[in-house]
Amino acid sequence: MARISISTYFFVLPDLFFVNAQHQIHQLDSLFICPQFMLVLEIKNIHGRLEFDHRTHQCIRTKVDGTVEGFPNALTQVQRHMRFLSGLTTHYSLSIEGAVVIANPSTIITHSANTCIPIFHRSGLHAHLHSLFQKHPQRLLSDHQLRQLVQELQRKQQPTEMPMTIAPSRLRHGVLCPKCMFQNCMHFDRGIWKCSYCHYRSREIFAEALQDYRLLISRTITNQQLRAFFYIHSSDAATRLLRKFQFPYSGTYKNRVYHLPVNLVDYMKEFF
């Protein structure tokens, strides 16, 4: 719990995971809760030029080399989470706001003026919060009620993983080639995964393989574990690979442990 002013406390709840009555998943990057309002934050680390189209509900990314890609629209995701939270917190009278925060400072944001959800770089978060406190000046919850709401939300979270019942030693290691029906293991060479049998090449295939590792082995990984499981011979190459995706980590350089996000494939897609 942190203090934002003399009389206002707030909570920031990261990585919330809920399942609604229709068995649909709501995975919130971050939720800011204070006695005046709640703020749903969808955080994106996509680089390039981003265009948010409210009519097609799509996010279009244009890279520096001119490559154009489509992503699920973060604006739609935020609105969906806001509707879900509204039904989940009916006993509380807090207004629910939403915003999309772009974490990469080099990203250029272009979007239609008709969008009702603000989109801004992370440097604008403080100013946006200030404007929300001006918009919602009245405290609607006591500190006790605020803590009660936070505890209720935490209790309603769903487990994101099933307990592991297969010994890791029985699992096939490495990045398996999809073109070979996952029969052959690919090798890592200068940032690209290559299959020696069918000559298939891919950078993105690593995201799927690492997601499998997270689900089947562990939610964390070290340099040594990465090299052992994915057959990477160079410690420096493994370090560069882990740093590329900016995974959160703990520990010093020699005993550093990298924490793998829940939505790993989507998270890593933004770095390719």
pLDDT, tens only, 133-165:
999 999 999 888 998 898 889 888 865 554 555
Q: What is the pLDDT of residue 114?
A: 59
Please give the backbone phi and psi of residue 129, each rounded to the nearest 5 degrees, phi first. Answer: -60, -40
Measured CA angle at 219 (ends 226, 175), to 5 deg: 40
Q: What is the DSSP letter of 66?
A: S
Long-range contacts at 13-18 (CB < 8 A, ≥ 24 apart): 13/150, 13/153, 13/154, 15/261, 15/262, 16/153, 16/157, 17/157, 17/158, 17/160, 17/262, 18/84, 18/88, 18/156, 18/157, 18/158
Q: Which of 226, 230, 233, 224 is nearest to 260 (CA)?
A: 226
Q: What is the pLDDT of residue 242?
A: 92
Q: What percent of the chain has pLDDT over 70?
A: 91
Three-state SS for 137? coil
Q: What is the pLDDT of residue 112?
A: 56
Residue 40 contacts residue 96 (beta carbons within 8 Å): yes
Q: What is the pLDDT of residue 70?
A: 79
Which burial class, exposed, middle or buried, applies to 233 when counting CB atoms under 10 A from its CB (0-12, 13-18, 19+)? exposed
For residue range 44-70, list pLDDT tens digits in order.
888 888 888 777 777 888 888 888 887
Q: What is the pLDDT of residue 164?
A: 54
Residue 119 contacts residue 109 (beta carbons within 8 Å): yes
Q: Within 10 A of 249 (CB to CB), how many other CB atoms are there?
A: 16
Please state whether the predicted TM-score (pTM) of the whole model is above 0.75: no
Q: Which residues of the chain have pLDDT under 70?
A: 1-8, 111-115, 158-169
Q: Which of 72, 73, 157 is nearest to 111 (CA)?
A: 73
Q: What is the pLDDT of residue 209?
A: 93
Structure tokens at 223: 């340099």
Q: What percent of the chain has pLDDT over 90?
A: 40
